[in-house]
Amino acid sequence: MEDDSSHAKSGLPSDFRFNRQQPWEPDSHSSKAVIEFLDRSTNAAMGRYTGGLSPSALATAYLDWLLHLSASPGKKLQLNQKALKKIARFQDYMRRSFWKPDTSERCIDPLPQDDRFDHALWNTWPFNYISQSFLLTQQWWHNATSDIPGVMPEHERIVEFCARQALDILSPSNFVLTNPEVLQKTILEGGMNLVRGWQNFTEDLDRLASGKGPVDSEEFIVGDDVATTPGHVIYRNCLMELIQYSPSTEKVRAEPILIVPAWIMKYYVLDLSPENSLVRYLVDEGYTVFMISWKNPGPEDRELGFDDYRRLGVLSAVDVIQKIAPNRGIHGVGYCLGGTLLGVTAASLATNTEDPFASLSFFASQFDFTEAGELMLFITESQVSFLEDVMWEQGFLDTSQMTGAFQMIRSNDLIWSRIEHDYLMGERRPMNDMMAWNADTTRMPYRMHSEYLRHFFLNNDLAEGRYRVDGRVVSISNIRLPIFSLATTKDHVAPWRSVFKVHMLADTEVTFLLTSGGHNAGVVSEPGHEGRSFRISTAKQDDYLIGADLWITEAKEREGSWWPEWSNWLSQRSTERVDPPGTKWVNQDGTVASDGEVCRFPAPGTYVLMN
């Protein structure tokens, strides 16, 4: 049985007792305990059918929008006027395109990120009328769900998002008879594309039901095809394994690199195939690289909190590295949530006389969460409370619930384009290493995820000076080390303008780099990768701050990968080259194994293989 202090930390009532067979049981027959138990159980059961989305949150947002719209005659009059104007524009387009179908200018263009109607066949009759009417309808609904006087901003975003999702379901690109590409292929192949599509659908359904990954994902075996950079696990505890990669150069830079990946994903996105492995690139550049590989938590890990990840993860890794390579500063690198964790850890250590870090690099990491993109649609008090009840029963946030949220944010790219390509066109996209890694998902402990959502996303405690470590408030402004901050242009998880706010929080030199690509593909941007570009600038500690919009107009775009630019940044903040440090196993009590004892596990270790 756990003591009352653990319940206080987790925010649960003291009269609840943890049980290995059942999530929670009332410790007494008190009415409060029974009532809360019933409420949580009901919400958890409901969450199985809603994908973790709170019906109350959606209903509240919808009613807020509907009631304020009904009480806004001016807005309703404006919507009627817009509808009449759109009908007139569409009729004018029909008239012009009837006489000059090849040269008539469209009455509305899709958004830049919308490529559903790019094919030339969409400009032919009657599909040009179908697509244009759909886009006009989509634009009208955007007007109808936004700028309603009195509606709470978060409710407005939810309603607008849900309306867009509903319209995307009804998009003419999703149906055989209204999609000219699919219709042409169906006629030419005598419907065999639909037969193959049905086979693809049933195969995907079967694999989903049996818990298997996407088709051909098993061809990318961890340790054989991906995550192949040589190394050894030199330390393990209940939460992480620490990998030390073998040197590939005679001399290495004195300062090692510690990479802290997000626990929402497996670390080997940074060590994919040999040709696009950031780890291998750093090793070949003469760095000693250490990588944290997080354990995939189960129900027994439900009480692991954010501070456990700090202590058992980052701090334990730092202690081990200092035993392997003593008296050397560490280049700390954090990716996504791992960057937030690294920033909190570095800020808590900043006042120490001996700071273990030499520099800090953050990849797509946020410290101010007020503009954290469409992911904030799922971060309201109602939604977080509902999600906590779902996790309370399971002990963790399931992979399907996380994946569903991310897919909804990018539904056109991740859901509807796949339905069109795989099921209507009857084709399969070839599996690649990034897709296979993306399907190798992880879970998150109940307590940690609840704390992360509340302290960072919901309350923004870190940026607003309320987040505490060991009872003391920590601030990113306490960091005096040089910072390298990477953002990507198409990031739906950590939008680049949100990442840019590190300038406003850190009181030190900040080098900010904005690269093309998305949250993961933009980071995995090896030299020679076609179509890659970036912008970069350095703000000294005493420089005047500028906003993100002004920054992007002043920073010149450069072609190529950002990896060499970052490697050069690290080298300028490193000292001499030395002999590579040895590889030794470190016990959990901190003692280093004797010279004759070899490390027990080769990279990639065992935690990364946990399903």
Q: pLDDT digit string (tens) for 519-557?
A: 999 999 999 999 999 999 999 998 998 999 999 999 999
Residue 20 has pLDDT above 80, yes or no: no
CB proximity list for 139: less than 8 A, separation 6 or greater: 86, 108
Residue 597 has pLDDT above 70, yes or no: no
- What would the mean pLDDT of 456-468 be, rounded to a whole number? 94
Q: What confidence category does residue 512 fall into, taking pLDDT thresholds of 50, 70 and 90?
A: very high
Which of 549, 475, 550, 561 shows the shortest CA–CA distance to 513? 561
Task: Determine the 3-state secondary structure of 49 from DSSP.
Answer: helix
Task: Determine the 3-state secondary structure of 244 from DSSP.
Answer: strand
DSSP 15-36: TEEE-SSSSEEESS--HHHHHH
- The pLDDT value given to residue 285: 97
Which of 47-61, 148-162, 254-268, 303-317 is predicted least confidently? 47-61
- The pLDDT value given to residue 577: 94
Residue 11 has pLDDT above 50, yes or no: no
Which of 130-139, 230-239, 356-365, 378-387 is predicted least confidently? 378-387
Tell me whether strands 396-397 and 240-245 are parallel, antiparallel or unpaired. Answer: unpaired
Q: How many CB atoms lie within 10 A of CB 31?
A: 9
Nearest 5°: the CA angle 502, 507, 508 is: 90
Q: Which CATH number is 231-398+443-609 given? A: 3.40.50.1820
Please write the tens of the pLDDT for every residue from 412-431: 666 888 899 999 999 998 99
- What would the mean pLDDT of 44-64 be, rounded to a whole number? 82
The answer to whether 102 and 160 are in contact (CB under 8 A) is: no
Residue 336 catalytic?
yes
| Percent of the chain clearing pLDDT 70 (strictly above) | 91
Q: Is the pTM of this model over 0.85?
A: yes
- The pLDDT value given to residue 206: 93
Q: Which of 162, 238, 336, 599 is catalytic?
A: 336
Find residue 235's DSSP bridge partners: 242
Tell me whether strands 357-363 and 483-488 are parallel, antiparallel or unpaired. Answer: parallel
Task: Return residue ranges of the chain for CATH 3.40.50.1820.
Answer: 231-398+443-609
Please write the tens of the pLDDT for every residue from 274-306: 999 999 999 999 999 999 999 999 989 999 999
Angle between helices 127-144 and 153-169 (to 10 degrees): 160
Structure tokens at 3: 């003591």
Please write the tens of the pLDDT for every residue from 187-237: 999 999 999 999 999 999 999 888 888 899 999 999 999 999 999 999 999
